[in-house]
Amino acid sequence: MFEVTVSDHIMVAHSLRGAVFGPAQQLHGATYVVEASFSRVRLDKDGIVVDIGRAGEVLHAVLADLTYRNLDQIESLAELNTTTEVLCREIADRLAVRIRDGSLGVVPADLSRIRVTLRENPSAWASYERTP
Amino acid sequence: MFEVTVSDHIMVAHSLRGAVFGPAQQLHGATYVVEASFSRVRLDKDGIVVDIGRAGEVLHAVLADLTYRNLDQIESLAELNTTTEVLCREIADRLAVRIRDGSLGVVPADLSRIRVTLRENPSAWASYERTP
Amino acid sequence: MFEVTVSDHIMVAHSLRGAVFGPAQQLHGATYVVEASFSRVRLDKDGIVVDIGRAGEVLHAVLADLTYRNLDQIESLAELNTTTEVLCREIADRLAVRIRDGSLGVVPADLSRIRVTLRENPSAWASYERTP
Amino acid sequence: MFEVTVSDHIMVAHSLRGAVFGPAQQLHGATYVVEASFSRVRLDKDGIVVDIGRAGEVLHAVLADLTYRNLDQIESLAELNTTTEVLCREIADRLAVRIRDGSLGVVPADLSRIRVTLRENPSAWASYERTP
Amino acid sequence: MFEVTVSDHIMVAHSLRGAVFGPAQQLHGATYVVEASFSRVRLDKDGIVVDIGRAGEVLHAVLADLTYRNLDQIESLAELNTTTEVLCREIADRLAVRIRDGSLGVVPADLSRIRVTLRENPSAWASYERTP
Amino acid sequence: MFEVTVSDHIMVAHSLRGAVFGPAQQLHGATYVVEASFSRVRLDKDGIVVDIGRAGEVLHAVLADLTYRNLDQIESLAELNTTTEVLCREIADRLAVRIRDGSLGVVPADLSRIRVTLRENPSAWASYERTP
């Protein structure tokens, strides 16, 4: 099994809904370092899982819709409680759309897994994995 | 599958038993950076695996019994050879106790996996994973 | 010359004023990893610049007034454009107050320099240094 | 399940074959930080997966054949397109040979998995895992 | 004194001239993580040293002439022994040209120092500092 | 001004003397990541400050006398309170001896500064600088 990971980041404001979040219920913010991983059982004819350059561009395009924003005011996220875990899933789902539309240069059947990790500070991070 | 990780550290002295350890048979020490990961198939109603703040506190409480100590003189570790691997398991087992007693705010059935990683220096680390 | 550094972080929302900031004029956020450094020509009788534990507590106390907040709504920052550079200076100035009031366990004359570094993402950071 | 990882690095020149690689078709180079992980269901009598010191030496020996070289001119790699993914597999396969010849102090049946990760820059890395 | 740093990287092949370099006399390669720092005594009216976004673009433009290349075949470097130290100076000098031509949005008199750091692997790096 | 840094680590046990150290008065331990920096106004004829390979070997030799030991029982440290700051100075002084005896391949007059940094955990480190 092979896996390729590319990394980028977003800088966003948001607030969380639920007493469990304590002070994070207030509007605050985060730099999320975002790692997107793509897994594949066999390499393609060029010897790669996906083109790392293209993967970085696709990830950057997905993140461009989120960065420098207040997530509380993004319509497509309105029904979500934007915890780190939920953002991992959201970004993974958006990457899956880009795979299906051909942006990544592979078809879903080529890949066995997508995983997205968000690092919110030096001592806390989360990840989500799904099939493509 | 979702996973949340929190990180902390301990600074301990210890010695290892067995010729394989060479100079590490002498009393020496380590800063272990400790990462505790919790996995869950579905998020709870707040959109989280566990409360990251609470997970950090539980990990800190578990590590408080070990840090600034000589592990060779901790009674509950007396029968163990405190290799990095064994310490990973010991800390994972102690976290599992805290999950069962409700400290983490989830029940064991909510989680699918606990993993503990100890980084002992920039070029060596170990991990252990178990069911909760 | 000796220097001791302790590190912590804040997670804040804010917006910047000025066309130069482009999309960062929108309300967004950041995890700032904050490093506070203290310099001293000679060590004290215990062989230290400052007590690292106490320095960590003082830094944490200074940051507690900022973290999980929208900086745009903190009265004491109202007149500032909270760029990374300005936040470095603000935190350094607040640390200097804590040194003068004895919280750090040293007097200003003991120290030759304070420096504060804020890392806003993996590829950008800023610092400010002043006399204590 | 236990896992032990050791890390080292190589500094190599190479070029990639295929239009997908764009400017990386030119002769260029990389520092690859190489992480080799070994997994085991049960620890041995000393409480370890493998001897971390010995694992570091075996990894270093495997990398000694590659570092400070132009990979395009290494005969044993002549048929390979030395992408990060392919290099992961190549190094994992060479480690597997060293396990079979006894260099690591364990037999293949002791281990459940080998994984090799190569970090080529701060925002891109790849890994490959296989049975020993 | 304020300082702002932006970071990027290059992936290059090269060889070094001189017996002192041992195996690094062979054609090999490196990922250099490049940090460019700009210092200033007083902030400008926007509260910044330089625009971090613009600094990142200027650094990227300077590095675009070097990355994915064999440094031994770049005409403008022909007379240099491209050690890490020499590359630090070369990149700092090229940044200074961009400051003088206005690309960074500041004039040389605004800045008190430029510093360039190149990290060649996890255990070795070099830096060079000059006036702008 | 040029600076070259090499990095290594030690894993030691020790205890600190003085009420200020609280629980660190107990025998405990640390992994110290050690960075040794050498500064020089002009490069030598090969275009270097010092040979990075040789600097790494000299640092490793200095650290070999300390690692895997209990610092409380090393005779040459008997009169020291081995705080992070004191260890920085001790290692810098030992490096200075190696420079004077020619081990580094430069004479003291070639260098303008030596600096040693010890990182004791992810949120605390110290450094000491002196003339060679």
Residue C60: its pLDDT value, please?
98
The ipTM is 0.96
The whole-number average pLDDT for the span A18-30 is 97
Residue A14: its pLDDT value, please?
98
C5 pLDDT tier (thresholds 50, 70, 90): very high
Sequence-ordered list of residues with C-beta below 8 angstroms from that of D37, at least 6 positions apart, any chain:
D3, D4, D5, D113, D114, D115, D116, D117, D129
Residue A53: its pLDDT value, please?
96
Residue D120: its pLDDT value, please?
98
Measured CA distances, E3 to C110, E38, E126, E128 (Å): 25, 5, 18, 15
Residue C14: its pLDDT value, please?
98
User: Helix crossing, A84-100 with A52-64: angle to 10°?
Assistant: 120
Round to the nearest angstrom and report the end-to-end CA distance of chain D.
Answer: 15
Place of tokens 């230290």: C48
Across the interface, of C18, C21, C85, the residue whose CB is closest to E49 is C85
Query: Which residues on adjacent β-strands are paired with residue F124?
Result: C6, F121
Please write the tens of the pLDDT for every residue from B32-56.
999 999 999 999 999 999 999 999 9
Residue F33: its pLDDT value, please?
98
Whole-number Å distance between alpha carbons of C85 and C62: 17
Q: Which two tokens stand for residue F18?
A: 């003085």
Judge contact between C4 and C49, C-beta under 8 A: yes
Judge contact between C11 and C31, C-beta under 8 A: yes
Residue A110: its pLDDT value, please?
95
Partners of F124 on chain C (C-beta within 8 Å) are 4-7, 52, 56
Using CB atoms within 10 Å of the CB of residue E53, give its burial: 0 to 12 exposed, 13 to 18 middle, 19+ buried: middle
Query: Which residues on adjacent β-strands are paired with residue C112?
Result: none
Whole-number Å distance between alpha carbons of B37 and B116: 6
Whole-number Å distance between alpha carbons of A128 and A120: 14
Partners of F81 on chain C (C-beta within 8 Å) are 46-47
The whole-number average pLDDT for the span F27-49 is 98
Residue A120: its pLDDT value, please?
98
Place of tokens 């219920």: A25
- Return the SS3 of E25: helix
Judge contact between A127 and A89, C-beta under 8 A: no
**Residue among C89, B13, F48 at smallest CA distance from E88:** F48
Interface residues of chain D, partner chain E, Cβ below 8 Å: 7, 9, 11-14, 23-24, 26-33, 67-70, 120-122
The whole-number average pLDDT for the span A67-75 is 97
> Are C29 and A30 inside 8 Å of each other by CB?
yes
Judge contact between A54 and A43, C-beta under 8 A: no
Sequence-ordered list of residues with C-beta below 8 angstroms from that of E16, at least 6 positions apart, any chain:
E24, E25, E81, E82, E83
Residue D32: its pLDDT value, please?
98
**Residue among E93, E100, E94, E105 at smallest CA distance from E130:** E93
The whole-number average pLDDT for the span E49-70 is 98
Residue F83: its pLDDT value, please?
98
> Are B121 and F31 inside 8 Å of each other by CB?
yes
User: Helix crossing, C52-64 with C84-100: angle to 10°?
Assistant: 120
Q: Which two tokens stand for residue D77?
A: 């790699």
Whole-number Å distance between alpha carbons of A18 and A83: 11
Please write the tens of the pLDDT for every residue from B71-125.
999 999 999 999 999 999 999 999 999 999 999 999 999 999 999 999 999 999 9
Partners of E7 on chain D (C-beta within 8 Å) are 122
Measured CA distances, D6 to B9, B94, B106, D37, D100 (Å): 19, 26, 34, 7, 19
Q: Which two tokens stand for residue A94?
A: 């958006």
The whole-number average pLDDT for the span B5-22 is 97
- E-strand ranges in chain A read 2-14, 28-40, 113-121, 124-130
> Are F52 and E124 inside 8 Å of each other by CB?
yes
pTM: 0.97
Across the interface, of F7, F14, F29, the residue whose CB is closest to B30 is F29
**CA-only gyration radius of chain C, Å:** 15
Q: Residue D53: what are its φ and ψ, rounded to 5°? A: -60, -45
> Are B5 and A124 inside 8 Å of each other by CB?
yes
Please write the tens of the pLDDT for every residue from C44-93.
999 999 999 999 999 999 999 999 999 999 999 999 999 999 999 999 99
Residue A73: its pLDDT value, please?
97
